[in-house]
Structure 1
Amino acid sequence: MEEDEDLETLGEQLYHRIYPKHAEIAGKLTGMLLELPPAVLSQMLQDEALLTGALTKALTALHLQPHQLTSKVTCKDEDEDSLGEQLFELVDVYNTGNSQKITGMLLEQDKDVVLNLFSDPTLLEEQVMVALKTLNEQNVEDISDSSDVDEVTDRLGEKLFSLVEELDPVHANDITGMLLEMDRDVLLQMVSDQTNAMLMTAVQKAQEALSSLK
């Protein structure tokens, strides 16, 4: 019940931010963004650039009508490329940091299944989250399987940097360095968390620490 109330509050805040520039479709855009994890929505309300980017992608997705896509899809390679580009735009709205890989995973399905993703936002979100979980589990397994401590640290650093860069590209190097001082098991859990909630909390604390040093 509390989660529903939190989501309703986030929806109201997003709507008030969106309405001034997109009055006629503010409700539709808000509904699309509410498909994202609450942690991401909270970050958007604090980061104007992140919100603007998500709105741009949502507006693009909004104009991709299923019947238009169906008419374009034939056996030609160029049409396959077009479908992939359009699916990428929808996947990228979720700001996972793995849009390219997830799009590739989704495109491996039957064409009819892929087309259904354009007309069913709930199905799209489910498949994006499943693909993201699979990718994160693979990354964690690859890192954990290594017996070389230095190699583990390097891989964790690379993975963390790619995730942190999505949230704070300006301070990504400094923040990644700070996070790598944490316990390795905590870091493995952090990079495997598909909601990015743990990472966002850690990044915010690191940002506060950096600000206090100025």
Structure 2
Amino acid sequence: MMDNEEDHLESLGEKLHDLILHKHADMAPKLTGMLLELPGAVIGQMLQDEELLTKALDRALAVLQPDDSKLPSKADDADSVSSDSLGEQLYDLIELYNTGQTQKITGMLLEQKKEAVLKLLSDPTLLEEKVQTALKTLQDSGKVQQETDVSDSSDRDEAEAIGETLFGLVQDIEPVHCADITGMLLEMDSETLQQIMSDRVMLEVAVQRAKSALEGALSPPQPRKD
């Protein structure tokens, strides 16, 4: 299996090298090596799409031969590079990975110090590692959010089911005030609710107490006798 993957990668590399040789003969080996760091699917697209390949080569060249206006010269300090400039270059490189999360991943990686971001721009292997880590983080957080939503939905469904079941039981005992009494009983903790729903005697006692409390609240105050 590994041999097949290596053969496939070697085949891609040969095809890529032949295409790059016509454009940048003097730097073909270096550029080919850099582009081979990208996922196989992306390399396959570049072999079919000359425009995509040209863009990828331009970005790789920008890394190898940084524009003085974008990256600092040896005499400059990393702080002299604007965050916007770094963000644009990083975005362009990350976009090649076709993750569908380029904007978010770029934002995550830009939270690092400028020196670390500059290193990512010049080290394709490190960049790929950071991109994959960031993508996994985003995917995991998406799963957690999805699980939370499902859990909340399940809790609501369970509460509604208990309410409906309890209403039916209370209606058999006290049809007149069943809605109000059900509402009062639903304020109990879930464990107590389960007990009274499974024990008819406990349920009747709870209903009578709730009814008495309800009637007391509804009855007009009696005049005091001196």
Q: TM-score, normalised by structure 2?
A: 0.54
Alignment: residue pair count: 146
In the alignment, the residues of structure 2 paired with residue 127 and residue 106 of structure 1 have an alpha-carbon distance, to the nearest angstrom, of: 8
Tell me whether 1:108 sits opposite 2:115 in the alignment. Answer: no
Task: Find the counterpart in structure 2 of residue 129 from structure 1.
Answer: 132
Matches within 5 A, 1:61-140: 61-64=63-66, 68=73, 71=76, 73-74=78-79, 79-140=82-143
Q: Is the 8 A contact 1:91 1:103 kept in 2?
A: yes
* Greater relative contact order, per chain length (Cα 8 Å cut-off, separation 6+): 1
5+ residue gaps in structure 2? 154-226
Equivalence for 1:36: 38
1:117 maps to a residue whose letter is L
Deviations 1:153-178 (A, max 9, x none): xxxxxxxxxxxxxxxxxxxxxxxxxx
Structure 1: runs of 5 or more not aligned: 149-214
Which SS does the other structure have where 1:71 is aligned? coil
Q: Give distance in 1, aligned partners of 2:75 and 2:134.
A: 24
- Deviations along 1:82-101, one digit per CA (max 9) or x if unpaired, are 22223223323333332222
**TM-score, structure 1 normalization:** 0.57
Would the alpha carbon gap of residues 135 and 69 (structure 1) be closer, same or farther in structure 2, given more than 3 Å must change? farther
Once residues 100 and 62 of structure 2 are traced to their aligned partners in structure 1, the CA distance between those partners, rounded to angstroms, is 19
Q: CA deviation at 1:79?
A: 2.0
State how far apart, in whole Å, the 2-side matches of 1:94 and 1:69 are: 30
Distance 1:96 1:69, change over 3 A: farther
CA RMSD, 1 decimal:
2.8
Equivalent position of 1:169 in the other structure = none
| Structure 2 residue aligned with 1:168 | none
